[in-house]
Amino acid sequence: MMASGMTVWISRAIRSGGRFVTSPAARANAVHEWRRRLSGEPALPPAPIGTVLVLCHGNICRSPFAEALLQRQRPDLAVRSAGLAAGEGAPADPLAVRIAKDFGVDLAAHRSRPLTPGLLTGTDLLLVMEASQARALRKCAPDSARRVLMLGDFLANGPFALPDPWGRPQEIFAATFARIDAAVGRLAARLDRASR
């Protein structure tokens, strides 16, 4: 490796390590990534799955997109979305609306909603985007712990966290939505097999 190549690699490693040390969310995602790679794709909850709640931070980008994709692929399911820190009634991010159209999804009518205890009641599967969200959900609703999975865990390859693209460039949105699309496709296939 050339000296300049080594310098670039060391610089990236230091920046990456710094994010790991300073960000609880990055730490949670890194630990989850390691565990997921060791244990493989997670098992679905044991009960028949008829209702799914997709969660993200603000319910204006990732979760409404995943909700629409899963509802389209599995119309027999009741699929909803919400945000762990969402306000009530905010429209989907304009960039999310634009990128979603590339996947045949219309988010123009979507309005955000916060997670409430009522949304958790009777939900068979709770999907989150990041490990820190799974941890927060399990902490505030411990009786739901066995029903909480990360959507990205259904991707064929890592990284398995689906970080928030909000406020990021269009390329980041497109890449995140492509990964959500792939994860939802694999999850829908798993749900098909499980329902037989």
DSSP 48: P
Decide if 164 is catalytic: yes
**Domain definitions of the chain by residue range:** 48-194
What does the alpha-carbon distance between residue 51 and residue 38 come to, in Å, rounded to a whole number? Answer: 29
What does the alpha-carbon distance between residue 148 and residue 124 come to, in Å, rounded to a whole number? Answer: 9
Mean pLDDT for the chain overall: 90
Decide if 56 is catalytic: yes
Q: Which of 93, 153, 164, 181 is catalytic?
A: 164
pLDDT in tens, 72-122: 999 999 999 999 999 999 999 999 999 999 999 999 999 999 999 999 998
Q: Which of 36, 61, 62, 179 is catalytic?
A: 62
For 83, the token pair is 């945000």
> For position 46, what pLDDT does the model report?
84
Task: State pTM to two decimals.
Answer: 0.87
> For position 61, what pLDDT does the model report?
97
Q: Which of 80, 38, 48, 71 shows the shortest CA–CA distance to 193?
A: 48
Q: Architecture of domain 48-194 in CATH?
A: 3-Layer(aba) Sandwich (3.40)
What does the alpha-carbon distance between residue 97 and residue 60 come to, in Å, rounded to a whole number? Answer: 9
For 63, the token pair is 């979760």
